[in-house]
Amino acid sequence: MGPELTQAEVFRYARHLVIPEVGMEGQRKLKAASVLIVGTGGLGSPISLYLAAAGVGRIGLVDYDVVDESNLQRQIAHGTDRLGMLKVESARKRLLELNPFIQVDVYNEVFSASNAQAIASGYDILVDGTDNFPTRYLLNDLAALTGRPYVYGSVFRFEGQVSVFDARQGPCYRCLFPEPPPPDSVPSCADAGVFGVLPGTIGTIQATEVLKLILGIGQPLIGRLLLYDALDMSFEMITLRKNPQCKLCGDNPQITQLIDYEAFCGVPAQPHPQAEVGEGLDLSPEELAQRLQSANPPVLVDVRHPVESQISALPGALQIPLEKLPQKLHELNPQAEYVLFCRTGVRSARALKMMQAAGFQQVRHLKGGLNAWAERVDPHMLRY
């Protein structure tokens, strides 16, 4: 039947208690439930806030980062007064301010194959608030192997997706996407951007699905993928089916334990702000400043999206966005010396590998990108 509600809790949840689908019995279910949320950023913020407000009795928060000013455009669990604070501690403080009648456990560490089982032990539902491929596959596999639902959410610029994967009664994420995408093929939110309000929409829908699962009401998004486009305010529903050939939940499963997904996906589960290529191909801001003053300076190539040059730029640079570089290589001189740059060096490192594969011999990239240049060479340049 679930734990009893105190008088204070009855007052707090009164608007729930008068709904026939919830009532006292449903609110006791919420109080007895436990939910693990991996990530306390754009998606994790609204998910955790609404689950706390609804009275979910135990909420676990996993993150390894600290609050940064660039987070506050969308990560509403944090505030300006929390800059530099561990995200899990900042979020726990906010959740308990919102609802002191719940328990919030925090795990200040990277969620990985080595600790996922231990961290997730005892939680009823697993929720992805990180939106990166290593965590997505790890949570999906953990949920399927342990017989729990996994509430999935994803955002990109103006678009989002939500589903519930429960291999006991429907497809898992691998039924839809058997293998991770090729390394470096999908840009991060830091590189691609995300409309600030979008994670709020998607995260709130994820929270809705969690509450429905706990209460046993409505039709969860099991076997369905919800697509959302904020620009034209459209929702589209795609039916998903279990794949009998799925390596995880199919008729003859091959995946029986968790994998080191960061290495497997080729995409980091934690940020690497300064990508390194090595072998003398990394150029420091100070080294580039010297080269630009030489008699034969290199050709600068900006591989960012053109809109980013409105924030900061290096004079005279060719502008070739990373995604267009393969089609533009024939316009470049293979004998010339090039230095590639972007915001932090991640995209320029990818571009360097492309150019090397195409036969360009004299190509290097700016380690740390324009943010490092602004810190160490030009303090008047804007960082972002």
If you ran DSSP here, which 8-state letter would residue 38 be given?
Answer: E
**Alpha carbons 324 and 327: distance in angstroms, whole number:** 6
Angle, helix 198-215 to helix 44-54, in steps of 10 degrees: 40
Per the annotation, the verdict on 342 as an active-site residue is: yes
Per the annotation, the verdict on 175 as an active-site residue is: no
- Please, what is the Cα angle at 374 between 370 and 377, to 5 degrees? 110
Within the chain, how many helices (H) and strands (E) appear?
15, 13
The residue ranges of DSSP E strands in the chain, in sequence order, are 34-38, 58-63, 103-108, 125-128, 150-156, 159-165, 224-229, 234-239, 282-283, 299-302, 318-319, 338-341, 363-366
Contact 3, 57 (CB under 8 A): yes
Catalytic residue among 172, 189, 249, 265, which? 189
Contacts of 376 (CB under 8 A, 6+ apart): 284, 285, 286
Three-class secondary structure of residue 244 per DSSP: coil
**What b/e readout covers 181-201, taking b as 16+ CB neighbours within 10 angstroms?**
eeebeebbbebebbbeebbbb
Other beta carbons within 10 Å of 157? 14
**Alpha carbons 345 and 366: distance in angstroms, whole number:** 6
Catalytic residue among 172, 249, 265, 342, which? 342
> What count of Cα atoms within 13 Å lies in the side-chain half-sphere of residue 273?
7
**Alpha carbons 336 and 338: distance in angstroms, whole number:** 6
**Alpha carbons 200 and 220: distance in angstroms, whole number:** 19
Indicate the residue type of 116.
A
Catalytic residues: 189, 342
